[in-house]
Amino acid sequence: MKRTVTHLADGRELIYFDRRDDADRGAADTRDLPPRPLASELRHDPLMDEWVAVAGHRQSRTFLPPADQCPLCPSAPGKASEIPSGDYDVAVFENRFPSFSFNTGEYADVGGLSEVRPGVGRCEVVCFTSRHDSSFAALSPEQVDLVLLAWADRTSELSALPGVEQVFCFENRGAEIGITLAHPHGQIYAYPYVTPRTKQMLASASRYRERTGGNLFADVLAAEREAGTRVVASNAHWTAFVPAAARWPFEVHVYLNRQVPDLAALDDEERAAFGPLYTDVLRRLDGLFGVPMPYVAAWHQAPVREGRELAYLHLQLFSIRRAREKLKFLAGSESAMGAFVNDVLPEEAARLLRSEGNF
């Protein structure tokens, strides 16, 4: 793998990851860009004991441009994009409209009981391929391996930044999910705090260890592999299954068959084994209703400083589509109370995904 670091016209970092050592990434960004926005402000919710980022500058971010104006496609004569090179394998750059950054300013007290502090951290965009009309499911095993190497690289680099407590790699796919750019891409958030979901999972894992002496995630995986009824696909290194208490109509968790804290800890064989299994699961999802499945793919990694001995790297993949022309909306119970009601029996979801066969 060749790793090339350069900068965009406004100073943001751009990193190319290439399979070829002779890849030329010397093209410069010739655009005249405005100054980078100040970091968001973090406001503490005393009722939930959670941090909320307020980032007003994100209102002006690019929203569903036509394909010939896509900022994630390679630059071409007369069309400069976020990626100056005329082609690329995988490209990662600092988000132009970040939820978190180190470009901090002054943040006034808002009164009440809410503490305010700068939203330090970093947000990056990961372009999986230069092809605008492709998808993660269409990537070759070699290309998926390169994406994994990029994720691992960014996890290590971002974890070392001052004030970063957790690194989150994810992909949003589909207009129904709320994407603003259709080009195949994901994002990485380097948070200045441990996220609520991670804190809750680690707390559950800690209680489980005190009670049983075991690792909660490893035991969940072992139980699902033994039961088999919700397993969708597996190989020597990975297992994909529908969780017994799935919240979403179609939800698949992809676990490594050994405990590691994060993507940087994967070995060569594990990376190579991930692509064929994961893209097969994605194609099964697309095949369910004959239309591209909107989804969120979220990597759960250990925080930078806490709970690393408890955490267990895994991918949570879920869709809001419950039928060909029906979506699962988070209405009163889910949005107001955080109490999910699933419309699809998890065992039936697993059966339907298995029935799609191998692609």
Nearest to 340 by CA among 238, 223, 270, 247: 247
Told to judge if 44 belongs to the known catalytic residues of this protein, a careful annotator would answer: no
Catalytic residue among 183, 185, 237, 253: 185
Length of the chain: 359
CA distance 159 to 305: 9
Give the count of alpha carbons within 13 A of 179, CB side only: 21
Residues classed as catalytic:
185
